[in-house]
Amino acid sequence: MRSKSANADVAVARVAARQHGVVSRSQLLEAGIGEAGVSRRVQSGRLHRLHRGVYAVGHNGFSLERRWMAAVLAGGEGAVLSHRSAAELWRLLDPAEGPVVISVPTTAGRKHRSGMQIHRRPSLHSRSTTRRRGIPVTTPEQTIHDLKRAVSRQRWRRAVRQAEVFGFRTGLRPYSVPTRSELEDRFLQLCRRHRLPIPEVNVRIGPYEVDFLWRSERVIVETDGYRYHRGSQAFEDDHDRDLALRDLGYDVRCFSYRQVTATPQRVATAVGRALGQR
C-alpha cells in the first residue's frame, strides 16, 4: 500500500510540474489518489485548496502563472485564460489586481466564482486558443478582439501596439490602429480639428523613420519628448537624425506631449505656417 501511495504521489508531482504546481481533483483521482487520500493530504498540508477541486501541491506559494493555471483548471474541460488575464499572460498589458478571467465552451454554470470571472462561450473555436507557458489561453488575435469591449480604449490601443511590437497577428485592418503611440493619435486629431492637411504617418526617408510627413511641402513633424526615448544616447541620436533631415531640405518641427495636448492652437498655427497656410 505504501509503495502504491508513493507511486501515486510521484505521478501527481509530475503533473504538477507541468502545471505550475497545481492539479485538479480529477487528476489526483486519475493518479490513483482516492477521495480519502485527497482529504488526508489536505489535512497534512501536502495539498492546499485554491479553488473547488483545484489544489497546490507541496506549498501554497504565489505566482501569476500558478494563479492563472488554477483558475483554468477550476473552469473545467476546455477552459482557457482570456480577456484581460490573457493579455497579461501575453505581456500585452501589465498585471493588475482583480479576478482571473477565463472562458469556457459551454453555456451552463455560474458566471462568477471566487477570484474568477467566467465567460461562457460555446462558439469559442479551438483555432482561437493555444498554450503559453503550459497554460491554455486565447490566441493574441482572439485576445485583442475580446479586449475591445472589456477595457478602456486607451488600454486596448496599448495592447494592440504591444502586440505589434511582438509581431503577433491582431486581425485588424491597417487603419484600425494607425499610429504607434497615444501622442501620435492626439496629433492626428489636432490636424483634423484645425483643418490641416492629413500627413503620411510613420514614413521612411532614407535610413530614417519620421512620425508625420507632408511630402510635397517637405515638412516633417516629430511628436516626442525625452521621456518617450530609450535613454540619453537615443535622445542624442534623434537630434542627429533631425539635423540630417534638415540638410536634405526638410523643415523638421518637434512637439512634446504637453504642447500637443495643452496648446493645440499654437501647435496648429506653427504647422500651418510651415505648410504655407495662413
pLDDT in tens, 125-183: 889 999 999 999 999 999 999 998 899 887 888 888 788 778 888 887 654 444 556 77
Contact 137, 66 (CB under 8 A): no
> Could you tell me if 257 and 231 lie in one domain?
yes
**Dist. CA 90–CA 88, nearest whole Å:** 5
> Could you tell me if 186 and 165 lie in one domain?
no
| pLDDT value at 226 more than 50 | no
Q: What is the pLDDT of residues 76-112, one digit of tens each?
A: 999 999 999 999 999 999 998 899 999 999 887 666 6
SS3 content of the chain, % helix, strand, coil (to 5): 45, 20, 35
Last residue of a domain, one of 176, 195, 230: 176
> Could you tell me if 36 and 87 lie in one domain?
no
> Could you tell me if 267 and 209 lie in one domain?
yes
Does the pTM exceed 0.85?
A: no
The string over 7-30, giving b where at least 16 C-beta atoms fall within 10 Å of a residue's C-beta and e elsewhere, is ebbebbeebbeebbbbbbbebbee
| pLDDT value at 229 more than 70 | no
Position 197 scores a pLDDT of 94
> Could you tell me if 118 and 161 lie in one domain?
yes
| pLDDT value at 228 more than 50 | no
Name the E strands within the chain. Answer: 22-24, 47-51, 54-57, 80-81, 100-104, 112-113, 116-120, 129-132, 135-138, 200-205, 208-214, 219-223, 251-255
Q: How many domains does the chain have?
A: 3
Position 109 scores a pLDDT of 65
Q: What is the pLDDT of residues 4-40, one digit of tens each?
A: 677 888 999 999 999 999 999 999 999 999 999 999 9
Cα dihedral sign, 9-14-15-18? positive
> Could you tell me if 83 and 159 lie in one domain?
yes
Mean pLDDT (the chain) is 86
| pLDDT value at 258 more than 70 | yes
> Could you tell me if 166 and 200 lie in one domain?
no
Share of the chain above pLDDT 70, in %: 88
Last residue of a domain, one of 155, 176, 197: 176
Position 70 scores a pLDDT of 95
Position 107 scores a pLDDT of 80
> Could you tell me if 50 and 69 lie in one domain?
no
> Could you tell me if 167 and 236 lie in one domain?
no
Residue range(s) defining the domain that contains residue 117: 65-176
Q: Which of 214, 224, 233, 213 is nearest to 257 (CA)?
A: 224
> Could you tell me if 82 and 23 lie in one domain?
no
The contacts of residue 124 (CB under 8 Å, 6+ apart) are: 80, 103, 105, 138
> Could you tell me if 230 and 172 lie in one domain?
no
| pLDDT value at 233 more than 90 | no
Position 185 scores a pLDDT of 82
CATH number of the domain bearing residue 191: 3.40.960.10
Contact 268, 277 (CB under 8 A): no
Position 81 scores a pLDDT of 97
> Could you tell me if 42 and 132 lie in one domain?
no
Cα dihedral sign, 34-39-42-44? negative
Order of strands across the sheet that contains 129-132: 112-113, 116-120, 100-104, 80-81, 135-138, 129-132
Grid cell locating 129:
486558443
Last residue of a domain, one of 15, 30, 57: 57
- The phi and psi torsions of 136 (rounded to 5 degrees) equal -60, 130
